[in-house]
Chain A
């Protein structure tokens, strides 16, 4: 894991920014050669906005949000999340930082099959050390907010895809993280479920001091974004409220 940091990153970060990247570059070794997937990304993600990251397959979207949420080291550059230079943290501190501040929504929900929806949603709280029953109670509350309170006692295998997705969302939000990251949250859902999920995310994950960044190439939901960033071959080529012409 390359941890080399470019301390000469250009520009300072806006202290208001939820996420601030400066000169973020990421290389992957592919056999003999090195491919550069991200080319010096400078980006501020603002709190209180639903930010979409879109782009063609292979453009580097997943790589970029992985770096922004502290699970993938950049080859160069720095990343601040709510003012903390996360790749300056030690390994354990970074894990702890994620646990306290970041909620994840994976495309494959990665729920634990042998525990029920409420316990799945309670995982971050349990990991934080909260008493299991108390954590479960909070998780049930979150499931209720997402309109699946009546499914709390069911195993993931007994839920529909959309319901599982909501459990995954509950798990991402239950510990009230300040940053929520989602990779293709609607890819597995039909159009109307996809929009409902987006509405939910806007309701619960976007607030004055909170940010939500969503990777998607689902054009059915582009209109729900506050801000759309387009990534092409590892560079941000568009930044605005709407999609650029021709996409």
Chain B
């Protein structure tokens, strides 16, 4: 009987493709938009993820994210170092600057100053050059997004920049996760960064801390807060703060939420309409089956199989479409490192199930209501 159900559906090619298209379209819209959304807001935490060795970030109590930070006096570093449980603590500076390129273009950049001695604060991997280059005078390392933005199609190595009126030479490319705004990032030594960033009295943005026992980072961060009066966040907390900041301060969740909702509604509309038409076209056949001796529960299973077939095919195509989309754009720095979190296909599968359950149930009602006696009319 289930075989017949499938043939009934696939035999009506127009409606079958309509149904599959509806589900595929919904799945694509929901999966793709949710994927971009999640990856985009996770960019709010890129500053934290790029410094993977820091267990704890210490900052002024008003600081909120890696990019929204209020500077502390340099004495903060020693205060943090004296807290028991701190294995190491290094200064970290993040500031905005303006860059004039050789061609005279102006670009706003982020300058990140990393600890002179340990270079903690640099991304883990380099695309070109080694981290040693920072020991040369006026050296900066650019991130890969910066390369594609400022030097499309050419190597930035050896390029001279005017960075807030100071000379800077690019000597390496870091493999970094782009920031939410895909700002160009220039890494340099802490001491050098102080030269690049115009002088105010306090310029220490963060103190990065390695815990003696990384598993107890949370407890250590609380101790640091108690003993220094500063704010201390574990890596995970601070990453979450960055994501939260994007969510709270941009229209992104609303915009993506609307698109996802639309995907769902369009799915319900297309699939609901087509499914109802399909059932209506076949109501006589269903009536005949009921008269001949097919029970309602078997009819239910037939419609469920039809819905399942449409669901699986459409869902598969939709997810595949998303994969192709992400893959197709993986070369674009805006989409660098984009991945599909496993929860998202699950969410769209759930949405598909809801769409099909809803529309299938509506369509099925007509079949179940059909009196077998109607076949003689």
The CA-CA distance from A62 to B289 in the complex, in Å, is 18
Given contacts A92-B295, A127-B294, contact A110 B4 (CB under 8 A): no
Contact of A104 (CB < 8 Å), options: B8, B288, B294, B295: B288
Which residues 122-155 of A have a CB within 8 angstroms of B? 123-124, 126-128, 132
Asked if B284 contacts A123 (CB within 8 A), the reply is: no
A244 interface contact, C-beta 8 A: no
B212 interface contact, C-beta 8 A: no
B159 interface contact, C-beta 8 A: no
Asked if A112 contacts B7 (CB within 8 A), the reply is: yes
| The stretch of A95-103, A204-212, A217-225 that contacts the partner chain | A95-103
- Chain A interface, number of residues (Cβ within 8 angstroms): 32
Asked if B4 contacts A119 (CB within 8 A), the reply is: yes
A108 interface contact, C-beta 8 A: yes
Given contacts A62-B376, A71-B372, A107-B376, contact A114 B10 (CB under 8 A): yes
B342 interface contact, C-beta 8 A: no
B12 interface contact, C-beta 8 A: yes
Contact of A66 (CB < 8 Å), options: B3, B11, B288, B373: B373
B292 interface contact, C-beta 8 A: yes
B178 interface contact, C-beta 8 A: no
Asked if A127 contacts B289 (CB within 8 A), the reply is: yes
Asked if A66 contacts B293 (CB within 8 A), the reply is: no
B377 interface contact, C-beta 8 A: yes
Residues of B close to A92: CB separation below 8 A: 295
Given contacts A66-B376, A71-B372, A104-B375, contact A114 B295 (CB under 8 A): no
Asked if A98 contacts B373 (CB within 8 A), the reply is: no
The CA-CA distance from A71 to B282 in the complex, in Å, is 19
- Chain B interface, number of residues (Cβ within 8 angstroms): 27
B285 interface contact, C-beta 8 A: yes
A43 interface contact, C-beta 8 A: no
B371 interface contact, C-beta 8 A: yes
Contact of A108 (CB < 8 Å), options: B3, B284, B294: B284
The CA-CA distance from A71 to B370 in the complex, in Å, is 11
A13 interface contact, C-beta 8 A: no
Residue of B nearest to A63 (CB): B373
Residues of A close to B1: CB separation below 8 A: 126-127
Residues of A close to B8: CB separation below 8 A: 112, 114-115
Contact of B375 (CB < 8 Å), options: A100, A106, A124: A106
A113 interface contact, C-beta 8 A: yes
Residues of A close to B292: CB separation below 8 A: 98-99, 104, 123-124, 127, 171
Asked if B285 contacts A110 (CB within 8 A), the reply is: yes
Asked if B11 contacts A115 (CB within 8 A), the reply is: yes
Distance in Å from the Cβ of A82 to the closest Cβ of chain B? 15
Given contacts A92-B295, A95-B293, A104-B375, contact A112 B285 (CB under 8 A): yes
Given contacts A104-B291, A110-B287, A114-B11, contact A123 B377 (CB under 8 A): no
The CA-CA distance from A97 to B375 in the complex, in Å, is 18
A183 interface contact, C-beta 8 A: yes
Given contacts A95-B294, A127-B292, contact A62 B377 (CB under 8 A): yes
A9 interface contact, C-beta 8 A: no
B8-51: contact bitstring with A at CB < 8 Å (1 yes, 0 no)? Answer: 10111000000000000000000000000000000000000000
The CA-CA distance from A164 to B244 in the complex, in Å, is 67
A65 interface contact, C-beta 8 A: yes
Residues of B close to A65: CB separation below 8 A: 376
Given contacts A99-B293, A104-B288, A124-B292, contact A112 B376 (CB under 8 A): no
Residue of B nearest to A65 (CB): B376
The CA-CA distance from A119 to B282 in the complex, in Å, is 17
Distance in Å from the Cβ of B16 to the closest Cβ of chain A? 10
| Residue among A98, A113, A114, A126 having the largest count of chain B Cβ atoms under 10 Å | A114
Asked if A96 contacts B376 (CB within 8 A), the reply is: no
Interface residues of A (CB under 8 A from B): 62, 65-66, 71-72, 92, 95-100, 102, 104, 106-108, 110-115, 119, 123-124, 126-128, 132, 171, 183
| 11 more CB-based (< 8 A) A-B contacts, given A123-B4, A171-B292 | A62-B377, A72-B372, A95-B290, A95-B294, A95-B295, A112-B4, A114-B12, A119-B4, A123-B292, A124-B293, A127-B294
> Closest 3 CB pairs between A and B?
A114-B11, A99-B293, A110-B288
Can you report 18 A-B residue pairs in the complex whose CB atoms are below 8 A from each other?
A: A62-B376, A66-B376, A71-B375, A72-B373, A95-B293, A99-B293, A99-B294, A100-B293, A108-B284, A111-B285, A112-B8, A112-B285, A114-B8, A115-B7, A124-B293, A126-B3, A127-B289, A183-B376
